[in-house]
Amino acid sequence: MQEASLLKHLTLAVMRGQIRASQDPHRPGWHLAPCVGLLNDPNGFIYHAGYYHLFYQWNPLDCRHGSKYWGHWRSTDLVHWEHQPVALVPSEAYESHGCYSGSAVIADDLITLIYTGNVKYPDGSRTAFQCLAQENDRGEFDKLGPVLPLPAGYTGHVRDPKVWQHHGQWYMVLGAQDLQLQGKVLLLRSDDLHQWQNLGEIAGSNLGGLGPFGYMWECPDLFRLAEQDILIFCPQGIPAETERYRNTFQAGYLLGQLDYTDASFSHQDFHELDAGFEFYAPQTTAAADGRRLLFGWMGIPDEDELYQPTVAYGWIHTMTCPRELSLQGDRLIQQPARELTALRREQRQWQGRAQDAPHFPISSAEMIIDVSVPFTLELGHKLMLEWDGARITLSRNNLRTGLREFRYWRGQLHQLQLLCDRCSIEIFINQGEAVMTSSYFPAEPAQAIFNGSAELCLQHWLLSSPMLE
Ligand code: FRU
């Protein structure tokens, strides 16, 4: 469809939907959410000329997945964000069924987007083109068209390019499904972002010692941190185990060393990035000061999505909070980006037995809890956190089936840091050793209610709700 026509319908959807969306009691106070419609993956996350840019997969026309656009926000501080002109609309034949996920680089001092043009055919088959778009001086993005068709040996599921520079050359990791229906990550190289050479598979199902590991790998990201190369990706088709892999799809990482000359990646075991109910398609970038920052999508593409109550208000899903990554031994540590402390308002401190604690407001709040002895914590009457001395169990009623569902983390607990908003909670365990990220829809008044005789020491802050302008 013509770009002008798509933009007219997008404008109509925003005009019709925005007031209703803003009246939703579950509208987040400080997390990034779509003004209307569905948001999924973070895309093109990059810092340039004083601004963080965050693009996002967006279906402005509906709360279901469909033909995706790229929305665009920017921020100087990761806390206050402003809308930018919509970056990509799926108007061309090579992206007829969506401008799918991708990344951004700075080339010739301009933000250049590399994304997947998704094309579906009436017989159910599909193809994919990796495409470029370049920033112009009006803050819009001019499409430069496809630079890479489907590589031979793969199905139409090849997508989500993440590009970076290394020793003067461009490299890309690409999620793929081979003809045996195994998930893979490809490494490609280019001098100019236009001509790409496929160097081969660097990781995948039945490759590099992994064994069978899913039918498709989405959203790869590769970066260096503390002398290690880290490959983040989202494998699809991993069977659930008692305490892990319990979401429909996973997000996790492999730690190792990438050999750029022979395109091989020797790596250790897979670890999940999150132990909560909703976390997917994370993307990282380097901050101005060199920190590795990450945004994830607080959602999972599954059959439960449309049962979220925000759908009645015409919008669905948010980003996670921005996080900073570090390495401790062979494990990735995630902590809330330090910039988020700017959200803190009134502070309260409390110490005593869990069951004597006052009910703390959590519709927009942060709590740091020092505790090691068993206790329980009920959140917004909808989510239960139980620490039994050996593992944390997080449970809630599934919105579709009504059945109780559970997620687990096993280890020795010392500290919890809870970041709460009107439709989500991010639980950082032991200063980021693990995270349990979940969307949830607390009943009013949203409160944290402790139970048990454990001695707690806690700090509580109300968080401000900066405007997304
Ligand atoms: C991950 C994903 C990507 C794809 C995008 C489409 O959530 O399926 O693989 O590019 O979403 O919106």
| Look-up of token digits 């049962």 | 307
* Nearest atom (ligand 1) to Cα of 41: 7
Q: For residue 160, give the ligand 1 atom closest to its CA.
A: 10
Ligand 1 center–CA 274 separation, angstroms: 18
**CB-based pocket (< 6 A), ligand 1:** 40-41, 57, 68, 100-101, 116, 159-160, 218-219, 280-281, 301
Distance from the CA of 41 to the center of ligand 1, in angstroms?
7
Please write the tens of the pLDDT for every residue from 104-150: 999 999 999 999 999 999 999 999 999 999 999 999 999 999 999 99
Residues labelled catalytic: 41
101 Cα nearest atom in ligand 1: 10
The confidence score (pLDDT) of residue 1 equals 78
Nearest partner of 274 among 391, 409, 155, judged by Cα: 409
Q: How far is the CA of 308 from the centre of ligand 1 (A)?
A: 20
Q: Which pLDDT belongs to residue 126?
A: 96
Low-confidence spans in the chain with pLDDT less than 50: none
Ligand 1 pocket test, candidate residues 63, 69, 101, most atoms within 8 A of CB: 101
Atom 8 in ligand 1: which residue has the minimum CA distance? 218
Which pLDDT value is given to residue 104? 99
Give the distance (Å) from ligand 1 centre to CA of residue 115.
11
Q: What is the per-residue pLDDT for 297?
A: 98
